[in-house]
Structure 1
Amino acid sequence: RENLGAAMEDIGAAVADLAQRFPDLTIVFPIHKNPKVRSAIAPRVEGLENVLLIEPLAYAHFARALSLADIVLTDSGGVQEEAPSLAKPVLVMRENTERPEAVLAGTVKLIGTHRQRLVDEVSLLLESDEAYQGMANAANPYGDGRAAERTVAAIKWKFFGTDRPVDY
């Protein structure tokens, strides 16, 4: 919810454009409780059956929804870190990010909030397997999810004499 005003209106219009361009696509939009956000988004997607405006989700439900998504659009810093761990391309609706390592790695792309840019970038990922796989399979700068496994292996090596784990 970094964006407000005209930016949110552009986001809402882009979501509507995408919903109409890709009628088989289901867009799940956990919408911030801020009335300014809701009034900028809701009228633009009203009546579109493939757009689900939902209340913000508890973390476990949000993580599950994220795991089921194909593409993630966000302005949240935390989501920029979590979605790549699930091999999800992340399009960031901002002009800058506090997580430049994700942009450099290719797991995140800064796209701003301009309506046509949003539509173009999402469309590219939906229509180009090469573009999609390039982001989904980029090396995650936040790790590969195997830290606990490596820790256990190191403890076993150090204290129980098992084989030394491979350096990571």
Structure 2
Amino acid sequence: KRHGNRRIILVTCHRRENFGGGVLNIVNALETILSREDVAVVLPVHPNPNVRDVFATRLADHPRVVLISPQEYTDFVSLLSMSHLVLTDSGGVQEEAPTFGKPVLVMRETTERPEGVEAGTARLVGANYDRIVGETFRLLDDDGAYAAMSRSHNPFGDGRASERIVKVLLDA
């Protein structure tokens, strides 16, 4: 989605494997992505100083970056629904984003959620500057690539589990 004429990129980063050089690569990639005037970044900042301090130092003053505190679930889901695409190292976000048709670039070398990669809703980019920038630009510039990821089958369900459970309970 858009904020004014800008597409929102939702970014989450908190995994220990990205501390140090990984988070620096991620911030460098975000700075390059932000060289485009057509994007804005929303980043709920994890309280761990290994990531918080780097994001605060490097991105806090950027006019198209919104650094916010970690969000309650419903607020985060609202952010997710308003975003254009997601950059994350979170397993849970990999599961949630396909429900809203949001492509996910996973800033890890492996994932415990391979279903998303196999279904085409997620792509592993690691904390690799070139892969983060390249895949983000591809999704921003190539409507076909964006559509392929955003319209892929959601391997984590269709969002109707609670309806089915209630029906089973009422029919019992």
TM-score under structure 1 normalisation? 0.86
> Contact between 2:101 and 2:151, CA under 8 Å: does it hold in 1?
yes
Find the counterpart in structure 2 of residue 41 from structure 1. 55
Check conservation: 1:19, 1:50, Cα contact below 8 A. Answer: yes
Question: What code does the residue aligned with 1:76 have?
Answer: S
CA contact (8 A) 2:60 2:66 kept: no
Contact 2:43–2:67 (Cα < 8 Å) also in 1? yes
Task: Return the offset for 1:152.
Answer: 6.0
Structure 2 CA distance for aligned equivalents of residues 38 and 154 of structure 1? 45
2:118 aligned residue: 104
Say yes or no: does 1:68 pair with 2:56: no
How far does residue 128 in structure 1 lie from its aligned partner after superposition?
0.5
Separation (CA, whole Å) in 2 of partners of 1:117 and 1:45: 20
Write the distance in 2 (CA, Å) between the matches of 1:53 and 1:155: 43
1:10 aligns with 2:25: yes
Aligned pairs (5 A) from 1:97-136: 97-136=111-150
Return the offset for 1:102: 1.1
- 3-state DSSP of counterpart to 2:147: helix
SS at match of 2:29: helix
Q: Is the 8 A contact 2:60 2:67 kept in 1?
A: no
Q: Which has the larger radius of gyration?
A: 1
Residue ranges of structure 2 left out of the alignment (5+ in a row): 1-13
Within 1, Cα distance between the matches of 2:126 and 2:19?
13
Match of 1:144 in 2: 158
* Alignment partner, residue 54 of structure 1: 68
Where structure 1 has 5 or more consecutive residues not aligned to the other structure, the ranges are 160-168
Matched letter for residue 95 of structure 1: E
Kindly provide the CA deviation profile for residues 9-68 of structure 1, in whole angstroms up to 9, marking residues without a partner as x.
111111111111x21311101111111212222333243201111111111111100110
- Quick one: distance in 2 between partners of 1:46 and 1:101? 34
Give the length in aligned residue pairs: 157
What's the TM-score once normalised by structure 2's chain length? 0.84
Equivalent position amino acid for 1:48 in 2: H
The residue identity in structure 2 corresponding to 1:13 is: N
Amino acid at match of 2:65: V
1:94 aligns with one of 108, 116, 124? 108
Give yes or no for contact 1:27–1:50 (8 Å, CA) kept in 2.
Answer: yes
Amino acid at match of 1:55: S
The structure richer in strand per residue is 2
Q: Is 2:116–2:122's contact at 8 Å kept on the other side of the alignment? A: yes
The one-letter amino acid paired with 2:112 is E
- Secondary structure, counterpart of 1:28 in structure 2: strand
